[in-house]
A and B are shown apart, each in its own frame.
Chain A
Amino acid sequence: MIDLPVGAPEGVVVADAVGADVACFPTREQYFELVSAFKDGGYELCSDVCAVDYLGHEDRLLPEGVAATRFEVVVNLLSLTKRSRVRIRVQAGDEPQVASLFSLYPGVEAMEREAFDLFGVIFTDHPDLTRILMPEDWEGHPLRKDYSVGRVPVQFKEAPGPR
């Protein structure tokens, strides 16, 4: 368990995660302020930003005081001086929208674009929120759980056709 850095918003839930990591659960309003406090507290590098779609898992295990939503944005911060990691899991809502971390860590640009592209998470104040992996005219966000993987019909030789 770690102490929250100076300047962190009041009332952020902190819990131990699997492995040696620690996870913080800010609300959407606390999110930017918390990451900013961590940055000032020596977490120089934002190693990862990704989103998770928990469709149908609203009853998942979360610490007390955290209201589960369908989407979660997960940020992994790394401190080179402390040699430690911290994970920030923010409940992004059912219509996912969180603040962009671009002004703190410019390196999240591509990662947030990826989360937008594949999950439809809106990062407010992101400078260039366009698709990055999928083509520009693609419909839907493929990593969402309600986005079907689809299938290509396999034509077997001499097998009767669909009709």
Chain B
Amino acid sequence: MTEPTVRAVDRADLLTAETSEGAQELQRRELTPTGELGREVGAVLRVDGRVLDARSIDVDRRDDETMIINMGPSHPSTHGVLRLMLELDGEFVLRTKPVIGYLHTGMEKTGEELSYIQGATNVTRMDYLSPVINELSYSMAVEKLLDIEVPERAVWIRMMMSELNRMSSHLVWMATNGMDLGSSSMMIYGLRERELILAFFEKTTGLRMNLNYVRPGGVAADLPDGWQDDVLVICDTIEERTYEYDQLLTGQPIFRNRMIGVAPLMAEEALALGVTGPLLRSTGVAWDLRRTMPYLAYDQVDFDVIVGTYGDNFDRYAIRLNEIRESARIVRQCVEKMPSGDYRSQDPKVTPPPRARIGESMEALIHHFKLFTEGFHVPAGEVYSAVESPRGELGCYLVADGTAKPWRMHVRAPSFVNLQAVPLLMRGGTVSDAITVISTVDPVLGEVDR
């Protein structure tokens, strides 16, 4: 029998030292200046004109009356490796601080090492629930720098795939939100419906997630034969089933009690925090980049921007549910209006020659080889391109220096910014409300940490 080399007491210290994030963590009350106590309540409270209200935070409370606990980083309801430090008074949440970075893999640094063609495979892994929209934002940035036109058909294919992806992302949200509230039937239904879309993605692109389908210059492949029928069946089925969700959740008393009036957000708070997407729309601000700053061909299709009133959990739920219906509406119009033509730009600078020509032409082979080993050169410049992802404004800031690799690739991740609303929303609620808040803010940790 071997002697233990570290005593249990030392080991506790060692473990603390190894797992502690130091100053990044939520500090104890006695270490926090009074003026700063409002910080974790939500940064908005420190804006001019919205000074810290003495009633909203009890500065006299001492540390031994409250408790700081960790929720996460591997808690089933935190939707990934999100770690929330909650200061609790009994069951009520006083302060919250999200501690993130557990999934940080340096994807922005990786992006600088990959050529522009490879870049799409990198960004697609950030927000893994809406890969098409990530690729779209990136590809649009590259295309703006290259100053190339994308053929009409590619634009419409991109738009249709984005909307299908938005549906699948919202369905996963419906599923996990149902799961968080104890409705495991919703979990099964949401993932069942998403499966239809993933199957179509697999048929079109060969992959279910992380598609690398939208690329600079167009899309990777044309739609498969009979895609109209597939897509229409998906729309019919999902649209019909959203009415089943209405029966299952929308009118259900327990669900309503946990959602209505819980964790309200005001429009000015949302704007101050930079929150976008369904969270911002739930406060009554009709801001949807698809409508307000149209990209692709969104100005040629008919759809409604869903807006809430109170900014509470229920509004956020209702917006996402109705956005599924609106997306189905857009997809139907895409089927109707899909133009014929090329699915990728014929600019030889970015597009490899067709497969058939590689076998017969030496030049085509060299061209293909050069394009995929060296990549294409992008003129020096910098650009910011933003699209509406299911979670909000997804921006890509790209700096090119004239070589085949980006000098800097920065992604403005909506989840990362939206997460700042969590401490504000959780303030004063119970721990069980905290679960619904994380759920309705809908962070995707792959995107938060990048």
A112 to chain B, nearest CB (A): 11
- The count of residues in chain B whose C-beta lies closer than 8 Å to any C-beta of chain A is 53
Residue in chain B with minimal CB distance to A61? B380
Asked if residues A107 and B275 are in contact (CB atoms below 8 Å), the reply is yes
Residues 43 to 73 of chain B near chain A (Cβ within 8 Å): 43-44, 46-48
Asked if residues A106 and B44 are in contact (CB atoms below 8 Å), the reply is yes
Chain A contacts for B204, CB-based, 8 A: none
Asked if residues B417 and A110 are in contact (CB atoms below 8 Å), the reply is yes
Asked if residues B100 and A133 are in contact (CB atoms below 8 Å), the reply is yes
- Interchain CA distance A102-B144 in the complex, whole Å: 31
In the complex, identify which listed stretch (B156-164, B166-174, B194-202, B395-403) lies at the interface while the others stay far away. Answer: B395-403
Asked if residues B109 and A47 are in contact (CB atoms below 8 Å), the reply is no
Residue in chain A with minimal CB distance to B408? A52
Chain B contacts for A110, CB-based, 8 A: 416-417, 419-420
A41 within 8 A of B: no
- The count of residues in chain A whose C-beta lies closer than 8 Å to any C-beta of chain B is 47
Asked if residues A131 and B24 are in contact (CB atoms below 8 Å), the reply is yes
Chain B contacts for A61, CB-based, 8 A: 380-381
Q: Say yes or no: A127-B36 contact (C-beta < 8 A), given A21-B384, A61-B380, A106-B43.
A: yes
Asked if residues A106 and B47 are in contact (CB atoms below 8 Å), the reply is yes
Chain B contacts for A142, CB-based, 8 A: 106, 109
Chain B contacts for A114, CB-based, 8 A: 416
Chain A contacts for B44, CB-based, 8 A: 106
Q: Say yes or no: A52-B399 contact (C-beta < 8 A), given A57-B407, A80-B285.
A: yes
Asked if residues A47 and B104 are in contact (CB atoms below 8 Å), the reply is no
In the complex, identify which listed stretch (B15-23, B115-123, B341-349) lies at the interface while the others stay far away. Answer: B15-23
Asked if residues A132 and B382 are in contact (CB atoms below 8 Å), the reply is no
Chain A contacts for B380, CB-based, 8 A: 60-61
Asked if residues A105 and B274 are in contact (CB atoms below 8 Å), the reply is yes
Provide the B283-311 mask, 1 if CB < 8 A to any CB of A, else 0.
00101000011000000000000000000
Chain B contacts for A85, CB-based, 8 A: 384, 386
Residue in chain A with minimal CB distance to B449? A133
Asked if residues B408 and A103 are in contact (CB atoms below 8 Å), the reply is no
Asked if residues A106 and B272 are in contact (CB atoms below 8 Å), the reply is yes
A130 within 8 A of B: yes
Asked if residues A18 and B417 are in contact (CB atoms below 8 Å), the reply is no
Chain A contacts for B24, CB-based, 8 A: 130-132, 136
A134 within 8 A of B: yes
A109 within 8 A of B: yes
Provide the A61-93 mask, 1 if CB < 8 A to any CB of B, else 0.
100000000000010101010010101000000
Chain B contacts for A45, CB-based, 8 A: 271, 274, 276
B89 within 8 A of A: no
Chain A contacts for B408, CB-based, 8 A: 52-53
Chain A contacts for B109, CB-based, 8 A: 142-143, 149
Determine which residue in B20, B104, B271, B384 has the highest number of CB atoms from chain A within 10 A of its CB, and name it. B384
- Interchain CA distance A45-B285 in the complex, whole Å: 12
Nearest 10 A-B pairs (CB), nearest first?
A107-B274, A136-B22, A106-B43, A107-B273, A133-B101, A48-B412, A133-B104, A50-B410, A18-B383, A130-B23
Given contacts A17-B382, A111-B274, 18 further A-B contacts (CB under 8 A): A18-B145, A19-B385, A44-B271, A47-B274, A48-B395, A50-B397, A52-B408, A74-B397, A106-B46, A106-B272, A106-B420, A107-B420, A114-B416, A128-B23, A131-B101, A133-B449, A136-B21, A142-B109
Tell me the B residues contacting A by CB distance below 8 Å: 20-24, 36, 39, 43-44, 46-48, 100-101, 104, 106, 108-109, 113, 144-145, 271-276, 285, 287, 292-293, 380-386, 393, 395, 397, 399, 401, 407-408, 410, 412, 416-417, 419-420, 449-450
A–B complex contacts, Cβ < 8 Å, 10 sampled: A18-B382, A47-B412, A52-B382, A52-B410, A61-B380, A106-B43, A106-B44, A110-B417, A135-B101, A136-B22
